[in-house]
Amino acid sequence: MGADEHRLFWKVIIPGASPFIITGMRQAFLRAWIAVVGAEMIARLRLGSGLGYFRRQRVLNTDTMLASLIVIGIIGFVFERFVFGSLEQHDCDAVGAWYARQKASAIRQQVWSPSRFAKSR
């Protein structure tokens, strides 16, 4: 095709693998978020939402305990939606634009192909 390895990597391999890269990053973030909240509960740090939940659980303060859980969930949900949602949308837009260009190019080649006119004569 005439492309060197550097151009092939950045123009073909990375765009083709980007949906899988984004999915892996999303999964890694979700597992890391669970680990951070769990570590805050276990380590009993002075600051952190996990410690707030743990303290309220010990004194059976259920209303603020549930509020802490809701805040932890909202933070994870908002981060996942805004960061990974925008990455995924950008990736879908880029792949969609690439697909449209490829389809238009194939149609142009089919319409203006000299072999097409040679067969019709």
Give per-residue pLDDT as tens, 37-94: 777 777 766 666 666 677 777 777 778 778 877 888 898 888 888 888 888 888 777 7
Count of structural domains, the chain: 1
Domain ranges, residue 87:
5-120
User: String of b and e for 92-120 (b: at least 16 CB within 10 Å)?
Assistant: eeeeeeeeeeeeeeeeeeeeeeeeeeeee
User: What's the predicted TM-score (pTM) here?
Assistant: 0.59
